[in-house]
Every structure is written in structure tokens, then in C-alpha cells.
Chains A and B, each alone.
Chain A
């Protein structure tokens, strides 16, 4: 109980208000208003270009969970920023946080007044964050630093906000990602398949996978389709295939969970068949990235963040469009974006926004080497968007495939519960029951429906 009273104290001087979430956010911002005021004054009066710039130099902190492949490019982006801002009083320090712990650590850091200045949005988590008052609306501050929202394509801009939150923008879109199959060309050739072609539908996919699978007495040594025995990969595969077959996690009006249950069940069976019927995948794989990189798998659907790593290591592969396994050809979509976290010292916002603007303006490297499509019209029109990028053999499908990449997050507060691409979440844990044979697809579907419906009912 001692602890409890301490927690009350930390809420700040303006804690006479009721404990609604909206007020909490103001507490955050207001709690250190005095400090911010002083700092703001300094900022306003100290515009003199003094020689000793180091004195008011600021170090912005950013967090991400990116390592390896796209992480290297992100590190380079930060390095570029720091090089360009040497002696200009702003530097960025980048820290890596484990993906599954990212959001809680941001929340914890924000609550203790030590949030990073900015970081990467996590799929589906934005609405919750807005409710919690952890992220800062960017409209005003982006105007101050002159970010040109007109240069973002409409699609990207519409993705930066949710209907419930009016016209506020909550993140700077950085890249657009789709999920497409990467195919190991050495395996294609040694299996007598045509390296110029790629599987177009479900039957061809299985045919290709069977041709490329290798096994010995101990079981499958090379998976025709790279799959893990549980968690993210079978989950996202199910998410894509079920959507192709006509399943919807939530109806368009967000009232009904699990539209077309039967298609969802069929998609689960499709995934299980990869292991047990077609025997083109093995549950033994735990690290899919390493597995595909070391030739333990032949077809691996993933996102553009893998390109840099595999190309650097000299893997001989190409990327194709996701085959049409069901009635309609659709695949997973996500947008990478930078968001700003609430600070006690609000004078940091402008410099943070300026840094985010710089990173967006200079995101050519990011969208050519690091990840997929650009949300910015000017970059898309830049010839270097093609010429400086990874060769089309690797990259083009990720760009072209954006057209049918429509499986995005369900826009409700509890969106993470619906996410098909997330580790250790509700969906993954529930689906794991089907992959490991503990539960039947029907049982799993019933659990999904019950849980999701409850979440939709909450709104």
C-alpha cells in the first residue's frame, strides 16, 4: 500500500481531475509544463547562432526492433542523419528493443517520463496508444517544421488516422509492405522447374513445393514451403489463405466476428496439409529467416525487410507474387511509420518532428534498400527509386504486389488481438492449437469467434 501512495504522487500536480484517460494525457503534457516553459523560452531567445553550439545540443532517442537486414539500413539512415547534422546540435541515438516487448516498454517508459522521442508504429497498436495518450498528434508540429503532407499518397495518409480520431495524424508513413513469396532459384533449377516462371495458384504452389522438398530417413531436410511449427509464420499464412478463401476476421461494420467461418476452417486445413498431407513443410523449423537463408526451405513468403540481408549474403533467389490459393488473390499489408512519443519536455517535439521529417524526406535509401514501396509521391517519381534499388528480380513483386495487399489490421482498440502477423498474441496462441493437433480447426474457430466477438462488442 505504501507503493500505491507513491504512485499517486507521481501523477503530477494537476491530479485533481478524475482518472479518465483523456485527463491522464493532459497530466503528462501538463505535468512538466514549467520545465517546458523554461526550455521553450531558451529556445525562443537563444536563436543567436552562437559558436558554442554543443551547449544546446540535443540527443534524440529512437527505438525500434529492427536488426539484421532492414535493421542495418535503418542504422545507416540514422548514421546519415547524424552525419548531416554534425555541429548542428542534433544527434539521434538508436536503440533496439525486442519486438514483442516493444509496446509495453514504450508504455512503461512514457509512464515514467522517459519515453524515447520517436519510434516505429506497431501494427494495430495505434488506436490503443492514442487512447492512452502515449503518442503525440503531428498536425501542428509537422506544420511548424514544414512537412509536406501533400507529397504523401492518399492511401498512406488515410492509413495514418482512424475515423474515431478526427483528422489528426499520428505517424509519418515511411514504407508500404506486402507479403510475397521468395523462391530459392538453386532449388528451382535442381528440381527441374522453370526459373523464369512461378506458381500462380494453389495447385501449382503445392506442385512446386513437392518438387523442391527433400527428405531423408530423419524426415524433411529441405522444406518446399518454408514454415515454422507454430507462432507467426503459420498464423500469417492462415491469415492470407483464409482471406483468399473468403473469410473475414470482422465484418466491414465491425459488428460481427468471423464472417465465413467455413472458409477459415478450410484455410486451417490447408496449412495443416502442408505438414501432414503434402509433406512439403516440417514443424521442426524454429527460425524461418535463418532457415531460408541457409537453404533449408525453398519458397518463403515474407516481407521486403528480408531483401537486404539475403542479397548481401549472396542467396540466389527471386520474389514472385503471392499465388491465388483461394477465390481472390490478396495478401498481407502493413505500413511502416514513425510516431512521436509524449515527453515531459515538450520543447523536444519540434526537433523530433524535424528529425522525422528529415528521415522521411531522405527515405530513398530506406525504400530502395531497407524495405518496400514508398508512400511519398516525390520519391516514387525519382528515377533513383528504381535505379538505386535492389534489382527487380528481388524487389519488384513487393512493389507490384501492393496492389492486392489488402489484409490490414482491424481498426478497433483491441486490434492486436486480431493481428495475423504478431508473435505470441491471442491469434497465434489459439491457432497453435490447430497446428500442433491439440485442437481441431472447428474448435479453434469457435474460440476465435467467441474471443473476437467479445472484443468487437467492447468497441
Chain B
């Protein structure tokens, strides 16, 4: 109740006259907040508890303290999964940003047929991971896949996209970029459409060429969209799972495994639920750190 007074006081400074509190507001929010607390917040707290136990679904949990976390620190598969996800980030985030921005600039230029271009650039984003995964498994087939057949015609030896430990991250990343680019594209396009035409025209009058206009006028103006896309894509990449599961199931030799995939592997194939929850908590921490770092960096550069 003290909070309430404080809130009203604060508000009171701004408002000429204090309006009455609308208590129904809480009711309106509650319908959303209850499932939110139960299914978004609850599992995270429950996960903290589970991560301190040994539990295989059946029976009751055995309290093991920090044992799962200690085990995680020396688990080479965790190191690999977390390293992999950073590599995924380095490949997918720039890929999505560059292609998405390029496609948005193209569509925004008002060329003929850009209506259909807008539709098609976004289309992969609306299908499920199963579709993405299976299509790309087939396209990236070492021997008969479309990509390698066409590469072969220009003299490139077949690349083992999904079957070698060196290439598999690239293979999965290509599919992921295809899947995720649509979102970035739409966000960039909306931002580009908000760029005032007269600003660009004025720059053109002053003799700025396309590249200069883009660099000095457009880019600064779409900066919020850029930061949004990077944030969204970073988080999407940290949680990468479905395409990995469908395309490689983490293999070969765990070379394409991501943290979520490893959680799946530990929980579902080895039914170590406590340990899997501990890895979930670690990933949660990583995501918090990355988000905070990202924000700080952005704030400083802006």
C-alpha cells in the first residue's frame, strides 16, 4: 500500500488533478498475468529448484546441492554446445542483418515486381522448423543436393555440409539465415519507409551518391531498427534448436549441438532432468549477460 501512495504522488506532479485509481485495471491485467506467472515465470523458478536435485521424472527429487553445476563446469559437451552457439551467432546474426537490409533496400527502391519480392523474401519465416530443416537437408545433401550439384558445375568439389564436423555449423547456419531473414527484412523495410524522402532528395541535390546517402542519411535513421534486429536475432540464435534437431540432431560428434539441443539430449535421451535444468539455468544466465552487454555497448556507441 505504501507503493501506491508513492505512485500517486509521482503521478500527481505530472497531472493537474489526480484521477481516481481504476482498480479494474488489475483485473484486466490479471487474466494475462496469471498464465504469465504460471507458465513463464513459474517454470524458471521451478527450474532453479530442479537444477539442485537429481530427478528422472519418476519418483521424488534427491537433493544434490550444486553437484549438477559442478558437473556442468567440467562437461566437455557443454563447452562445445556453448562454443557452437557463439559461432552460430557470429554466422547467423551478420548474415541475417546484411541480407535482410539488402533485401529491404531492394524492395524499398520501388523497382518493378517488388510486391512479389516482398512476399517471397518474407515467406520462409512463416513455415515451421520441420519444413526448413527437411528442405535444407535435401538441398545440402553432399552427393545429390542442389547446392553441391550446382557448385560442382562450376568446379567446386562436393562440400560435406551436414556430415563433417568442420562444415556442419555452416550448413545449419545457411538454413537458419533463410528462415530468420524475413523478420529482419520486414523490420528494416518498415524503418526505411519512415525515412523522410525530402532528406534523401536534399542529400542528392548536394551531390551525395547512393552509397553516401545510405551511409550518412539512411543508416543513422534506421539505427533503432538495426539494434532491434540484432537483439532479436541474437536471442533467436541463442535458443537455436529445431533446425539443429531436424537437420543433424546435433551431430556429427556434437559439432552442431546447441545448448538447447544438449538440454534436450540430456533430458530426453538420458533422462537426467536435474542436470538438464541446470544447463537451462546456465543458458538463462548467458542470455542475460549477452543482453546486458549488448545494451551497454549500444548505449555507448549511440
Touch between A and B in complex, CB under 8 Å? yes
Min CB gap B185→A, angstroms? 32
Q: Does A312 contact B (CB under 8 A)?
A: no
Cβ contact within 8 Å between B58 and A283: no
Q: Does A19 contact B (CB under 8 A)?
A: yes
Min CB gap A3→B, angstroms? 5
Min CB gap B145→A, angstroms? 11
With beta carbons under 8 angstroms apart, the residue of A4, A132, A425 that contacts B58 is A132
The 8 A CB mask of A441-455 against B (1 = contact, 0 = none) is 000000100000000
The 8 A CB mask of A254-298 against B (1 = contact, 0 = none) is 000000000000000000000000000001111000000000000
Q: Does A246 contact B (CB under 8 A)?
A: no
List the B side residues contacting A433 at CB < 8 Å: 253
Nearest A residue (CB) for B59: A24
Min CB gap A250→B, angstroms? 19
Cβ contact within 8 Å between A284 and B269: no
Min CB gap A407→B, angstroms? 21
Q: Does A229 contact B (CB under 8 A)?
A: yes
Cβ contact within 8 Å between B49 and A218: no
List the A side residues contacting B43 at CB < 8 Å: 3
Cβ contact within 8 Å between A111 and B253: no
| A286 to B247 CA separation, bound complex (whole angstroms) | 11
With beta carbons under 8 angstroms apart, the residue of B37, B163, B249 that contacts A424 is B249
Min CB gap A276→B, angstroms? 13
Cβ contact within 8 Å between A231 and B267: no
Q: Does A45 contact B (CB under 8 A)?
A: no
In residues 71-91 of chain B, which contact A (Cβ within 8 Å)? 76-77
List the A side residues contacting B49 at CB < 8 Å: 1, 4
Q: Does B254 contact A (CB under 8 A)?
A: yes
Cβ contact within 8 Å between B157 and A218: yes
Q: Does A121 contact B (CB under 8 A)?
A: no
In residues 126-150 of chain B, which contact A (Cβ within 8 Å)? 142-143
| A46 to B228 CA separation, bound complex (whole angstroms) | 68
Q: Does A136 contact B (CB under 8 A)?
A: no
In residues 1-41 of chain A, which contact B (Cβ within 8 Å)? 1-4, 11, 19, 21, 24
Cβ contact within 8 Å between A286 and B164: no
Q: Does B23 contact A (CB under 8 A)?
A: no
List the B side residues contacting A108 at CB < 8 Å: 57
Cβ contact within 8 Å between B252 and A230: yes
List the A side residues contacting B142 at CB < 8 Å: 284
Cβ contact within 8 Å between A230 and B57: no
| A285 to B250 CA separation, bound complex (whole angstroms) | 16
Cβ contact within 8 Å between A436 and B255: yes
Cβ contact within 8 Å between A24 and B250: no
Known A218-B157, A229-B164, A432-B251; contact A416-B57, beta-carbon cutoff 8 A: no
List the B side residues contacting A230 at CB < 8 Å: 251-253
In residues 237-291 of chain B, which contact A (Cβ within 8 Å)? 249-255, 265, 267-271
List the B side residues contacting A284 at CB < 8 Å: 142-143, 160, 163
In residues 151-168 of chain B, which contact A (Cβ within 8 Å)? 152, 157-158, 160, 162-165
Cβ contact within 8 Å between B58 and A286: no
With beta carbons under 8 angstroms apart, the residue of B58, B160, B249 that contacts A107 is B58
Cβ contact within 8 Å between A436 and B164: yes
With beta carbons under 8 angstroms apart, the residue of A100, A110, A429 that contacts B253 is A429
List the B side residues contacting A435 at CB < 8 Å: 252-253
Q: Does B45 contact A (CB under 8 A)?
A: yes
With beta carbons under 8 angstroms apart, the residue of A21, A231, A286, A426 that contacts B270 is A426
Cβ contact within 8 Å between A132 and B56: yes
The 8 A CB mask of A155-192 against B (1 = contact, 0 = none) is 00000000000000000000000000000000000000
Q: Does B60 contact A (CB under 8 A)?
A: yes
Q: Does A438 contact B (CB under 8 A)?
A: yes
With beta carbons under 8 angstroms apart, the residue of A3, A101, A429 that contacts B46 is A3
Q: Does A365 contact B (CB under 8 A)?
A: no
| A219 to B157 CA separation, bound complex (whole angstroms) | 9
List the A side residues contacting B94 at CB < 8 Å: none
Known A230-B253, A432-B252; contact A2-B38, beta-carbon cutoff 8 A: yes
Cβ contact within 8 Å between B270 and A438: no
| A49 to B76 CA separation, bound complex (whole angstroms) | 64
With beta carbons under 8 angstroms apart, the residue of A1, A3, A100, A231 that contacts B251 is A231
Cβ contact within 8 Å between B42 and A3: yes
Q: Does A197 contact B (CB under 8 A)?
A: no
Cβ contact within 8 Å between B58 and A133: yes
In residues 18-62 of chain B, which contact A (Cβ within 8 Å)? 37-38, 42-43, 45-46, 49, 56-61
With beta carbons under 8 angstroms apart, the residue of A104, A231, A416 that contacts B252 is A231
Cβ contact within 8 Å between A1 and B57: no
Cβ contact within 8 Å between B46 and A111: no
Cβ contact within 8 Å between A286 and B269: no
List the A side residues contacting B59 at CB < 8 Å: 19, 21, 24, 132-133
List the B side residues contacting A100 at CB < 8 Å: 268-269
Min CB gap A7→B, angstroms? 9
| A100 to B43 CA separation, bound complex (whole angstroms) | 25
Cβ contact within 8 Å between A104 and B253: no
Cβ contact within 8 Å between A3 and B163: no
Known A3-B46, A107-B58; contact A436-B252, beta-carbon cutoff 8 A: yes
Min CB gap B159→A, angstroms? 11
Min CB gap A441→B, angstroms? 14
The 8 A CB mask of A401-421 against B (1 = contact, 0 = none) is 000000000000000100000
List the B side residues contacting A104 at CB < 8 Å: 57, 267-269, 271
Q: Does A456 contact B (CB under 8 A)?
A: no
Cβ contact within 8 Å between B164 and A103: no
Min CB gap A221→B, angstroms? 8
Q: Does A134 contact B (CB under 8 A)?
A: yes
Nearest B residue (CB) for A19: B60
Cβ contact within 8 Å between A218 and B143: yes
Question: Which of B49, B160, B162, B268 has the most C-beta atoms of chain A within 10 angstroms of its own C-beta?
Answer: B268
Nearest B residue (CB) for A296: B143
Known A3-B46, A4-B49; contact A283-B38, beta-carbon cutoff 8 A: no
Known A1-B45, A1-B46, A21-B59; contact A107-B158, beta-carbon cutoff 8 A: no
Min CB gap A67→B, angstroms? 17
The 8 A CB mask of A211-235 against B (1 = contact, 0 = none) is 0000000110100000001110000
Cβ contact within 8 Å between B268 and A283: no
6 A-B contacts (beta carbon < 8 Å) = A111-B57, A132-B58, A219-B158, A221-B143, A436-B252, A436-B255
Extra inter-chain contacts (4) besides given A21-B59, A103-B271, CB under 8 Å: A19-B60, A221-B143, A416-B270, A435-B252
Query: Nearest 6 pairs between A and B by C-beta?
Result: A19-B60, A432-B253, A230-B252, A436-B165, A24-B59, A436-B253
